[in-house]
Structure 1
Amino acid sequence: MSLLNELRNNGVVKNVGEGSHEELATGSRADHSTRDRVARSVLDHGPSTVADLAARLGLTQAAVRRHLDALVAENIVEPREQRIYGARTRGRPAKVFVLTACGRDAFDQSYDSLAVDALRWIERAAGGGAAGEEAVAAFARHRAETQAGPYREAVEAAAPEDRTEALAKALSADGYAATARSAPTPQQGEQLCQHHCPVAHVAEQYPQLCEAETEIFSRLLGTHVQRLATIAHGDGVCTTFIPRSTTTPSASASTAGRNPA
């Protein structure tokens, strides 16, 4: 998994901390966690030298450099010349590391809170209960339909047998890291897999977002589809089953956005 996607996971971001003295093996999941801590320290403290980061995180400077190299390769941080205020001292100024725009976006989870607050307001303004849930569902359907324009163009331009792949590519262009593959029994259909979901943390509380997306997939592909797993539900990938045979489109509200019981 890309380190950028690791950073975008709220669980990773919320659990990072400073002060651990462990040196972690390169390439392991724990190593990624340490890199998250390095990036978070830059976010919290601003432009930082290798020495600054080593002191704050309890790591050796060699270990910090190794993690910074990986973060630079992922376009999460970038090196800059340190600004010197006042009289310059002898020698070259120390290099500092700052977050890139991409790296900052990876940590910016305030939009999740804003989205949840907005949906909660819609729910309450509609009177709560079933009326509130339907108001949120109406918003989710409107959002999904608005997003679907480019997806529809891509699907309609593809041959029938290539439409799932075309949808996956369109979703990937929108940040969902989607792929299409044959189902375990290929003659039965395909699976559309979304390896990233920008609204997963909001959908944990409001599954109507997943349900509306599933309905859109059904309409775009011209067949009933079944959502088998979702990131919002705790699964590693959002997986949607698309049967080979074309039937009347009708995404089931009982399974859309949720794992089947």
Structure 2
Amino acid sequence: MKNVGEAQEAPTGAPQEELATGERSTRNRVARSILDHGPSTVTELAGRLGLTPAAVRRHLDALVADDVVAPREQRVYGARTRGRPAKVFALTDCGRDAFDQSYDKLAVDAMRWIQEQFGGDEAVVAFARARIAAQTVAYRAAVEAAAPEERTEALAKALSADGYAATARSAPLPHKGEQLCQHHCPVAHVAEQFPQLCEAETEFFAQLLGTHVQRLATIAHGDGVCTTFIPKVEHTADHKAGKTPTAASPKISRTTHNTSASTAGRNPA
């Protein structure tokens, strides 16, 4: 990641270079925490990093000035409580790019060439499904090894191992189920132009977890986090025996595509 900002003032006697290095290191920790956990408040960042709120605000001011993060109003799910929503800070496109070497233009050019040379959108869909299928073995092994009620968490850990910084949590009431949140997407800029990548991923989640799922938000669409709602599944005999209902199918069914991925790549809110 690029170094974001320098020290503002050096206390008397402090080595300037050492102070600047420490400032950059802490600033990068703040940005990394937002990458790993999604849009965050000052209080949340202070708690995670062991800093004072004042110190966090100082680093956030520098990150905002460098276009690494941007403030936004916190999205509230369900009934809105009284009072003004807390301000959260989210990574900008510039901030995301700072964390990894990007080959987005090459990927977009390749996708467009596939689209033009091999059958339009159907060719892109076929590529997207083949790409996600390549990850099937590792993800399926992780999910099938977990107890039924822990499969979303197991999938989140497998995704995190691939750089998606994923977490699982209970969905806000009155919804019954879980939310799978991916705080980072290595292909977000490509998926912005080719949402078939998001759709294929959503199909795969539905097949892997044995239930329909709904994509609520995506980084590619401009949201801070890719969020997928996974409804609560009544565990059948197969579930209790440790079997995933669709595990035997090597392909992602078109029925799943029609019912589960209808909101992939879009934010219906």
TM-score w.r.t. length of structure 2 = 0.58
Instruction: Measure, in 2, the Cα distance between the counterparts of 1:186 and 1:152.
Output: 30
* Runs of 5+ unmatched residues, structure 2: 30-96, 235-244, 247-254
The answer to whether residue 136 in structure 2 is matched with residue 148 in structure 1 is: yes
Secondary structure of the corresponding residue to residue 193 of structure 1: strand
Match of 1:90 in 2: none
Match of 1:189 in 2: 177
The one-character-per-residue Cα deviations of 1:123-157 (angstroms, maximum 9, x if unpaired) are: 1112xxxx411111110000001012211100000
The one-character-per-residue Cα deviations of 1:18-53 (angstroms, maximum 9, x if unpaired) are: xxxxxxxxxxxxxxxxx4367xxxxxxxxxxxxxxx
The answer to whether residue 252 in structure 2 is matched with residue 260 in structure 1 is: no
Match of 1:119 in 2: 111
Q: Size of the alignment, in residue pairs?
A: 177
Aligned ranges for residues 4-19 of structure 1 at < 5 Å?
none
Q: 1:147 to 1:202 in 2, by over 3 A?
A: same
Secondary structure of the corresponding residue to residue 116 of structure 2: helix
Match of 1:250 in 2: 256
Contact 1:230–1:238, Cα closer than 8 Å, also in 2: yes
Instruction: Kindly provide the amino acid, as one letter, of the partner of residue 258 in structure 1.
Output: R
Contact 1:223–1:250, Cα closer than 8 Å, also in 2: no
- Identity in percent: 66
Match of 2:227 in 1: 239
Instruction: Measure, in 2, the Cα distance between the counterparts of 1:116 and 1:63.
Output: 43
Q: CA deviation at 1:258?
A: 1.8
Q: CA deviation at 1:166?
A: 0.3
Contact 2:202–2:261, Cα closer than 8 Å, also in 1: no
Q: Which segment drifts farther, 59-68 or 166-175?
A: 59-68
Instruction: Measure, in 1, the Cα distance between the counterparts of 2:226 and 2:158.
Output: 16
Instruction: Measure, in 2, the Cα distance between the counterparts of 1:218 and 1:107.
Output: 29
Match of 2:99 in 1: 106
Q: CA deviation at 1:70?
A: 4.5
Instruction: Measure, in 1, the Cα distance between the counterparts of 2:152 and 2:158.
Output: 10
Match of 2:165 in 1: 177
Aligned ranges for residues 60-99 of structure 1 at < 5 Å?
65-72=18-25
Q: CA deviation at 1:107?
A: 4.8
Which structure has more RCO (C-alpha within 8 Å, separation ≥ 6)?
2
Match of 2:153 in 1: 165
Instruction: Kindly provide the amino acid, as one letter, of the partner of residue 222 in structure 1.
Output: G
Q: CA deviation at 1:253?
A: 3.7
Aligned-CA RMSD value: 2.9
Q: Which has the larger radius of gyration?
A: 1
Instruction: Kindly provide the amino acid, as one letter, of the partner of residue 250 in structure 1.
Output: T
Secondary structure of the corresponding residue to residue 216 of structure 2: strand
Q: Which segment drifts farther, 181-190 or 240-249?
A: 240-249
Q: 1:243 to 1:63 in 2, by over 3 A?
A: farther
